[in-house]
Amino acid sequence: MQARSFDLAAEAYTDAVGGSISGDSVRRITQGWGKVVEARRNVEAEKANAPAQLWESPGGRRVAEVEPIRGRANLSTDGAMVLIRGERWKEVKLTAVSEVEVRATGERAAGESRPSRREQEPRVALSRHSYQVGLWDADTMALHQYSEGLRRGVDRCQQLSSVNDGAPWIERITYTNFPEAVQVVDWYHASERLWQVAHTVFGQGTAQEKAWVEGQLDLLWRGQVAKVAMGLEGLDLDQERYPSEVRQAPGYFQANQTRMRYDYFREAGYPIGSGTVESAANNVVHHRMRRPGRGWQRDNAQAMLAGLSELHSGRFERAWQATLPQAD
Predicted confidence (pLDDT) per residue in 125-161, tens digit = 899 999 999 999 999 999 999 999 999 999 999 999 9
pLDDT at 281 over 80: yes
Q: Which residue has the higher pLDDT, 290 or 98?
A: 98
pLDDT at 4 over 70: no
pLDDT at 265: 94
Rounded CA-CA distance 194/209 in Å is 10
- Across 183-200, b (16+ Cβ under 10 Å) vs e yields bbbbbbbbbebbbbbbbb
Q: DSSP assignment, residue 235?
A: T
The amino acid present at 94, given as its one-letter code, is: L
pLDDT at 184: 97
Rounded CA-CA distance 44/91 in Å is 23
pLDDT at 35: 92
pLDDT at 114: 45
- Mean pLDDT on 250-269: 94
- Mean pLDDT on 276-298: 85
pLDDT at 117: 57
56-102 pLDDT tens trace: 555 556 788 999 999 999 999 999 999 999 999 999 999 999 999 98
pLDDT at 61: 62
Say which range, 12-21, 250-259, 286-295, 298-307, has the weakest mean pLDDT: 12-21
219-237 pLDDT tens trace: 999 999 999 999 999 999 9
pLDDT at 290: 86
- Mean pLDDT on 262-272: 93
The pTM of the full predicted model, rounded to 2 decimals, is 0.85
Bridge partners of 155, per DSSP, are none
Query: Taking a C-beta distance cutoff of 8 angstroms, is the pair 213, 193 a contact?
Result: no
pLDDT at 106: 55
- Mean pLDDT on 42-59: 76
pLDDT at 292: 79
Grade residue 113 by pLDDT with cuts at 50, 70 and 90.
very low
3-class state of residue 139 by DSSP = helix
Cα 293 to Cα 24, 63, 106, 290: the distances in Å are: 16, 38, 46, 8
Long-range Cβ contact pairs of 52-56 (< 8 A, separation 24 or more) = none
